[in-house]
Amino acid sequence: MAPYRYGPPALKSSVDVQLQTAFSDGNWHTVIRLATKRASTLKDPYYEAIKVCAESQLDGTAEKCGALVAIDELVKNKKTPDLDTIELYEWACRDFFDYDVEYADTLGPLRARWAKANPSSPLAMQCLQACLERWDLVSAQQIATSLDKAHANTADRRYMFWNIILTYLLSISPQCTDASRKVYSLLAVRQLERAADLTENSEKLEPTDRGLLTEEEVCLYYRVLRSHGTKEDFISRVKSPKLGAIGQLKEGKKLLLCETLDTLETWGEWDLIYQLCREALSLGLDGGTTPFLVCDLQIWRKFAAAASKVADSESALGEVQTILNKYIEIKDTASAMYKKNLSLALLEATFRLPAAALNPNRDKTGLSPRVVQIGLFLDQYFERLSAFDDVKGYVAELGFDEIKTLMEDVLPKMLGEDVDKARKAVLNALESRLRYLLTTCPQTLSPQPSVVDGETQDKPFQCRLCDNPASIPCESCLKKILLDASKAYKEIRGDKELVDSIPRLDKDPRLDLALVMGTSLLKLSGLRPRTTDVIRPLWQTVDAGLFLQAVLLLDAQLKETPGDTELRLLLVQLYLLLGCASYAYQLWTPLDVKRTIQDALSPLFFDRISSLSPGLFHGTRPLMEPLRSFYSHNLGDRSPVRIWDAFSAGSYTSILDIVRYDGNLRRSCTVMMTLVEERRATRCYGGKIDVEIEEHFLTENIDDNTTLVNNTDYGPFPNLESTHGPPVHEYLRLGPGLSNERSHLAFLSEQYLDLLLYKPPKDYRPSKQTEVALRDREYTLETLSRLSNSLTDFLHQPTTPSRLTVAETTYYTVLSLLAAALLIALSTPRSDPVPKTLSLLTGSIKSAIASLRTDFFSLPSSPSTAASKMTPDKTTTITRKGGRLPGVSPSLTEMPTFAALRDAALAVRHSAAFVVAAHDRELARDRSGRSGVHRDVLAEMRALDAAAGKVLGEAKGHVQRLKEVLSEGGWLDRILELAFGGAENEEEGGREDEVARTVEEVIGGRGAAEEWAGRVVESWREGVKGWGMVKME
Amino acid sequence: MANFRRFRPDDLNKLSKCNLDPFTETYDLGFYLQYYAKWPSLFQVAEDQHGNIIGYIMGKLESSPDVYRFSEHYLPWHAHITAVTVAPEARRLGIGKLLTEQLEVAADANGAWFVDLFVRVSNHKAIAFYKSMGYSVFRVVKDYYGEHSTDPTLSSEDAYDMRKPMKRDVKRQHVRDDGEKHEVDPSVVW
């Protein structure tokens, strides 16, 4: 940043000491007096500028704006002040640029003029930097052009490429007018084309030549060509011997090849991908590059995929095999990583071979080349932490016979005579994970007729692995996997020698087994992704006992392996689902999600947190302060972070990537989540919201047309599922993940509430009351109309229903209806009849709230249990008498619905109050009463208000009842009974519940679960305590 | 399982496998981007088949400021390894070594005299790893770290400044055999 950011600039050395001292001391009145004197004596406009800038430090509004007026005059008069004057003005106006003053309309053009007049001065570069740091691309591009002209054919090549890259950046920026966009696009491409031609046609390029010399320059050319050129030009150039991908690779430059392959893949240019991969990999064998330079899995995958898609795929795949075999011959010289890549490449190539090539005789054997390759791979790598992830995609592709062979022949024989217990335990854990994976693969199920022998079948499939009737997934397989895993788990735990050997392993096999058991229990409980089609509350959709057993088992495992982040994250999600936000927060905190990774990881805890547990915001440190400060720190300036560093270093691809990243960060759904969650929590406790959401600097460039980006990183979750179904994190979320649609709806809703809750400053006393009232009314109607339209548009987008929970859909619908209703209410003259639409709207609002109210208050008092939910059959029934949660307590997991109900009811009340207040203001202003709100409208609003008030009263009562219920005794027993069944259950046949008994054994008995149950209940109590303080009126 | 390529800022949304590991520091955005802006070829990543970053190395090329030119502690043009990390699931595959080698190639391509790095004297595993790659201790920087990694009773820990000569240093004038005997104060380390 320029030095004036932190203090006033140094005055010219020619300025006398007296004035210098007064200026540096901030003695502004003296500066004004002395500068005025010097200006009249010396006739130097610089002293006039000093005077204006000193005046801008005084308190008067007119004086403060003096520098702006002076700049405006200079811009309009096309004058070029000296750089010292510009620096002075920039310092004097520094605070204005964060508001409505555009650098591109003020100092940017002055700097551009100065640079144009003094292009050879080293200070011209400073002008470029200043414009870039204010992200004034128009002026920066002009300066870069001047610099380029002045420094053409010098050894410092940056001037030329600054000009080009800024022309390109301008062409893709909203700062560029539509009329100029095409010109700038063409200009950028043409300049680079010329440079590329020069390189292609020159024997040897000197630094002073205007060709493409460095990797950064070449890659910039291709990036611009991809964006603004034609596909044909790109393809033609990428094949060229000098500037093509292979030509660059021969010089050891790999970046272009990687970027080119990605581009060609998006275009489906498989022939060229095949050709480039073949040439690139052959270079490694022929000594054209270091042997393993391009031996990345991605290259092999693209090579194999392209070979399977080209015209003569059989011979192309043969070529892949040939090259691969040559690499395998030299693999002893490679590092372990490349050896593994080659093994995976072999797998990939085998899986891309057509079925006829793999099995020409169409033998019905399960021991196919694909199974053999998986077996060979696992034989080498099964002990590795990543072994499951490496093969799971391939295993999920196998046919049923192949699966049987892999699981029944290949894996059990893998260790042969090896008696190493630890290796056996690791293999066993891997096998357990693979068995779970197979329950998520459709080829393990075959459809079953809905009626067999005249009897209706309640399971649509037959499991091909266990032959039992099944739904998705097969419950009897899951149960068997769970029981086998628990057996293996207990065996490890009971073998001291084995336990002692665990630290030497890549991963504790008990952790894998616990994850298999936990996820199997979750699936058996009936847990499904909570999307819009899952409208029932948690306790109605899952078997409470199995769900709690899953949480308990995984929680117990976390005590054994507290450092495992996958397990910790899984539990954070499960506790959020269970309504235990404070405990989830305790588990979340040690993950130490801070600084840069917050944007991607914070949604895993903070999304919807204010609706689940607003009490969390009542801690000693503001809950979301780290996120807020991350965004303030990195998005406070308009320019992307470190952009000048990239310009200065001539890192052109870095410039483009940083600009793109910056754009995504500014449009991140996490930014909106941060703002909205904090505002909601603040309102819960009647706190003051500092700034309207639309005025917040983080939403500066967000409008309805902005696509907000979900950057959430689900990478750290354990995922045993195949790609045939949703990944595990979708099962665990409170609702659909962050999305453009939900973020916009939240943004618009907050704007609506800002409008309703706005209070003018106490000392605001407009002199022309009527005029101001009319303007206010106009603004209100315009805003309501805009919000109503936007909310409706987003709600009606085809993708929106799948992005929201039912409660969220209802809440945003209520707000959209309210905005429309208020528009009618405030725009209908008293003399006209009230449009019927209003009563339709208010009717819809009432029924929407009523439906939310019914959804929430009609929760069953007893969660479903195995006995009540699952249909008994001989193989899968888990019969047990379940415990029950008393009274209102099952709603503890449904607090986001409760929050939506409260928020919707409060929005209704605020809306009604807004209309009534508008009416009262009009009455006070215009005693005739003619301009007030229509009588019938007022009646409608009062009726709405009363209905909402009633709901809020019920909500308050509900929290009170929750508090009372949770303060009762016997909760530990209740939770444990719910999880495992009561004592009577044991006596009467509870022993039949093999799963519950097994889980008990794994966690170390029912006694060990008591402490856990205590934590669950305590967290519920804390959550309800927080809700007790929330304002309901 | 792994691809090696140059870092790009979008990778910051895929760092969790590395950065949720308690032994990996998460820096400010400006810190990562500074390296990517100034020395993109020295910021390399390894990614898994799902695009998760499972290892990365950040380095820079620089020399001491000119004012130190006549100081005995002046560092000529060299590459510095600022951070190298590998996710737990990707360890024991030589990814750290490959990343370091890639940085060394970039250092050679940019005419560096040597590559250097700092490591806690108690981090025997890392020291052995670097020694196996040709690095040697050049000097001991006393109390370089503000806390001790293994002994909570100590308020500081020394660092080894380790170096590996690059092709340019034909005469090996920027490394020494008895670096453990050369102790310096952190204030002279630039």
Q: Which of A11-15, A95-99, A168-172, A288-292 has the lowest mean pLDDT?
A: A95-99
- The SS3 call for residue A243 is coil
- A688 backbone dihedrals φ, ψ, rounded to 5°: -95, 130
Cβ neighbours of A642 in B, within 8 Å: 30, 33-34, 36-37
For A338-389, the pLDDT digits (tens) are 999 999 999 999 999 887 666 666 666 788 999 999 999 999 999 999 999 9
Closest to B176 (Cα-Cα) out of B123, B139, B142, B144: B139
**Residue A334 token pair:** 């490679």
CB-based contact B38 A657, cutoff 8 Å: no
| Amino acid letter, A1021 | R
CB-based contact B33 A592, cutoff 8 Å: no
CB-based contact A630 B26, cutoff 8 Å: no
Closest to A442 (Cα-Cα) out of A402, A410, A398: A398
CA-to-CA distance for B172 and A249, rounded, in angstroms?
Answer: 31
CB-based contact B19 A563, cutoff 8 Å: no
Q: What is the pLDDT of residue A101?
A: 87
CB-based contact A592 B49, cutoff 8 Å: no
Distance from CA of A166 to the nearest CA of B (A): 16
Of A216, A591, A646, the CB nearest to B20: A591
User: Pick the residue with more confidence: A523 or A886?
Assistant: A523
In Å, what is the CA distance from A650 to each residue of A162, A220, A639? 8, 11, 17
Question: Per DSSP, what are the bridge partners of residue B184?
Answer: B141
pLDDT-derived band at A877, boundaries 50, 70, 90 = very low
Of A384, A657, A716, the CB nearest to B17: A716
User: Pick the residue with more confidence: A922 or A781?
Assistant: A781
CB-based contact A600 B28, cutoff 8 Å: no
CB-based contact B37 A654, cutoff 8 Å: yes
**Got the DSSP string for A506-575?**
SS-HHHHHHHHHHHHHHHHTT-----TT--S-HHHHS-HHHHHHHHHHHHHHHHH-TT-HHHHHHHHHHH
Q: What is the pLDDT of residue A874?
A: 33
Of B1, B30, B105, the CB nearest to A641: B30
Q: Residue A271: how many CB atoms within 10 A of its CB?
A: 14
pTM: 0.95
Q: Which of A418-422, A832-836, A910-914 has the lowest mean pLDDT?
A: A418-422
Distance from CA of B189 to the nearest CA of A (A): 23
CA-to-CA distance for B178 and A749, rounded, in angstroms?
Answer: 68
Helix, strand, coil share (%) of chain A residues, nearest 5:
65, 0, 30
- The SS3 call for residue A66 is helix
CA-nearest residue to A335 within chain B is: B94
| Amino acid letter, B163 | R
CA-to-CA distance for A645 and A98, rounded, in angstroms?
Answer: 22
CB-based contact A335 B97, cutoff 8 Å: yes
CA-to-CA distance for A788 and A821, rounded, in angstroms?
Answer: 9
**Residue A786 token pair:** 């805009």
What is the pLDDT averaged over residues A169-195?
97
CB-based contact B15 A597, cutoff 8 Å: yes
Closest to A947 (Cα-Cα) out of A859, A807, A842, A1027: A842
Distance from CA of A245 to the nearest CA of B (A): 15
Taking the Cβ of residue A421 and every Cβ of chain B, the question of whether any pair is shorter than 8 Å is answered with no
CA-nearest residue to A641 within chain B is: B30
Distance from CA of A524 to the nearest CA of B (A): 28
* Residue A2: pLDDT over 80: no
Q: What is the pLDDT of residue A983?
A: 57
Q: What is the pLDDT of residue A6?
A: 59
From the candidates B3, B13, B43, which should be mutated to test the interface with A, based on the most A CB atoms within 10 A? Answer: B13
From the candidates A657, A721, A729, which should be mutated to test the interface with B, based on the most B CB atoms within 10 A? Answer: A657
* Residue A320: pLDDT over 90: yes
Q: What is the pLDDT of residue A860?
A: 67
Q: What is the pLDDT of residue A537?
A: 82
Share the mean pLDDT of chain A. Answer: 92
For A717-748, the pLDDT digits (tens) are 999 999 999 999 999 999 999 999 999 999 99
Q: What is the pLDDT of residue A61?
A: 84
CA-to-CA distance for A980 and A977, rounded, in angstroms?
Answer: 5
Q: What is the pLDDT of residue A357?
A: 67
CB-based contact A386 B1, cutoff 8 Å: yes
User: Pick the residue with more confidence: A956 or A884?
Assistant: A956
Share the mean pLDDT of chain B. Answer: 95
CB-based contact A386 B21, cutoff 8 Å: no
Distance from CA of A335 to the nearest CA of B (A): 6
CA-to-CA distance for B99 and B43, rounded, in angstroms?
Answer: 9
Cβ neighbours of B15 in A, within 8 Å: 596-597, 600, 713
For A654-705, the pLDDT digits (tens) are 999 999 999 999 999 999 999 999 999 999 999 999 999 999 999 999 999 9
pLDDT-derived band at A862, boundaries 50, 70, 90 = low
pLDDT-derived band at A924, boundaries 50, 70, 90 = confident
Of B13, B34, B94, the CB nearest to A645: B34
What is the pLDDT averaged over residues B178-183?
96
Q: Tally A–B CB contacts below 8 A.
A: 162
Cβ neighbours of B87 in A, within 8 Å: none
For A377-429, the pLDDT digits (tens) are 999 999 999 999 999 999 999 999 999 999 999 999 998 887 899 999 999 99
Closest to A549 (Cα-Cα) out of A483, A496, A647: A483
CA-nearest residue to B6 within chain A is: A255
